[in-house]
Every structure is written in structure tokens, then in C-alpha cells.
Amino acid sequence: MDIFYQLYEQFLSYFPSFLHPVISIGLAVLFVYSVFQALKQNIIFIIILVVLLPASIPILKSVLDIIVNIVKFLLP
């Protein structure tokens, strides 16, 4: 995860410091939008996965927690 932090900091260093919050919000919105689009296209498969594999619910919860942590990182 440290590599992602370093890449993000390096990416932000190209812009003036007053734009960092705007860029972070923009990246968070784009990330949420892309996850939503991916889920929208594969919603039937996700429903089948949850119905057929009850053990997948903790896995999906952990994926959701990871997504929430990424969004929290992008929005300081």
C-alpha cells in the first residue's frame, strides 16, 4: 500500500498545493463512478454469487471496506 501512497504523492506534486483538494475529490468521484459502472454491468453475476455462495458475503464486505479506505485516503 505504501507504493500507492508514494505514487499518489508524486502525482500531486505536479500540481500546485491549492489544487490538491480539488484533485483528490475529482479522483474520488471518478473512482466511485468507475466502481458503480463495473457493478452496474455485472450486477446479475454479483447477485448470483451472493445467492449461490453465502461465504462470499464476508469477501464482498472486505472488498467494500477496501474501497471505502481508498476513498477516505483520497479525501483527507
Using one digit for the tens of pLDDT, what is the confidence trace for 11-57? 888 888 888 888 888 888 888 888 888 777 777 777 777 777 777 77
Cβ-based burial of 22 (10 A; exposed 0-12, middle 13-18, buried ≥19) = exposed
Q: Is 6 contained in some domain?
A: no
Q: Is 9 contained in some domain?
A: no
User: Structural domain tally of the chain?
Assistant: 1
> Pseudo-torsion of CA 15, 17, 2, 55, nearest 10°?
-90
Q: Is 13 contained in some domain?
A: no
Q: What does pTM read for this prediction?
A: 0.56
25 vs 69: CA distance, rounded Å:
14
Q: What is the DSSP string of 17-44?
A: GGGHHHHHHHHHHHHHHHHHHHHHHTHH
Residues 32, 37, 30: CA angle, nearest 5 degrees:
30
For residue 47, the enclosing domain spans 21-74
Q: Is 34 contained in some domain?
A: yes
